[in-house]
C-alpha cells in the first residue's frame, strides 16, 4: 500500500500536496485539521482516516482523538499527540504498546524513528502555514505484508 501521512494543516491544503499524494491507497491525518473542507479535499484523493488536534474544537464531534486501524497487516495508531504534552516516540510507544506504526503531529517537526521492537513512529511535520521556521512537509509510507514499512519525509515548498 502507498499511504500519505499529513498533520497540522490548520485549514490549508498546499497545492504540492495534490502532486505528492497522487495515487495513494489511504491518507492518515494526525490532527489540527483546522477545517472540515481540508478533509473533503483529501477525500477526493484517497480514503482518509483523521483525528482531531488541539485546535479542532469544531471537529471533535466528527473525529476521534485516537484512531486505530489495520492496513496491510500492520496495526496503525494515529493521534495528534497533544494529550502527551510534547510527544516523543518512546512515550507514544508506551501509550500504544500494540502499535506497529504510530503517526502523530503537534510538534510540527518531521521525524521518523525506528524503535528496537521494529515499531515505526512518524511525525510528517506541518503541512499547513509555515511555523517555527520549519519547512512544511508531509510523508509517504509504503507497506507490504511481512516487510517493515518504508517511509520518507517530503518537503513542500
pLDDT digits (tens, 9 = 90+) for 85-127: 999 999 999 999 999 999 999 999 999 999 999 999 999 999 9
Spatial separation of the C-alpha atoms in residues 119 and 7, rounded to whole Å: 20
Quick count: other Cβ atoms within 10 Å of Cβ 155? 13
Kindly state the cell numbers that stand for 63. 473525529
Cα–Cα separations (whole angstroms), residue 133 to 84, 108, 130, 136: 23, 10, 7, 9
Are 106 and 29 a contacting pair, CB within 8 Å? no
- What's the confidence (pLDDT) of residue 109? 95
- Residue 58 is given by DSSP the state G
Give how many domains the chain has, as a whole number.
1
The CATH number of the domain holding residue 73 is 3.60.21.10
Mean pLDDT of the chain: 96
Judge if pTM exceeds 0.95: yes
Predicted local distance difference test score (pLDDT) of residue 133: 84
Owning domain of residue 44: 2-155
Amino acid at each position: 500500500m502507498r499511504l500519505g501521512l499529513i498533520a497540522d494543516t490548520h485549514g490549508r491544503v498546499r497545492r504540492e500536496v495534490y502532486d505528492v499524494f497522487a495515487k495513494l491507497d489511504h491518507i492518515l491525518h494526525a490532527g489540527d485539521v483546522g477545517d472540515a473542507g481540508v478533509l473533503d479535499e483529501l477525500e477526493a484523493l484517497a480514503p482518509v482516516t483523521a483525528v482531531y488536534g488541539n485546535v479542532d474544537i469544531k471537529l471533535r464531534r466528527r473525529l476521534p482523538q485516537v484512531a486505530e486501524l489495520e492496513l496491510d497487516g500492520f496495526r496503525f495508531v494515529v493521534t495528534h499527540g497533544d494529550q502527551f504534552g510534547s510527544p516523543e516516540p518512546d512515550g507514544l510507544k508506551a501509550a500504544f504498546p500494540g502499535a506497529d506504526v504510530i503517526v502523530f503531529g503537534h510538534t510540527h517537526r518531521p521525524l521518523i524513528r525506528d524503535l528496537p521492537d521494529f515499531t515505526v513512529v512518524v511525525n510528517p511535520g506541518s503541512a499547513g502555514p509555515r511555523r517555527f521556521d520549519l519547512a512544511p512537509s508531509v510523508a509517504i509510507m509504503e507497506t507490504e505484508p511481512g516487510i517493515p514499512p518504508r517511509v520518507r519525509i517530503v518537503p513542500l515548498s
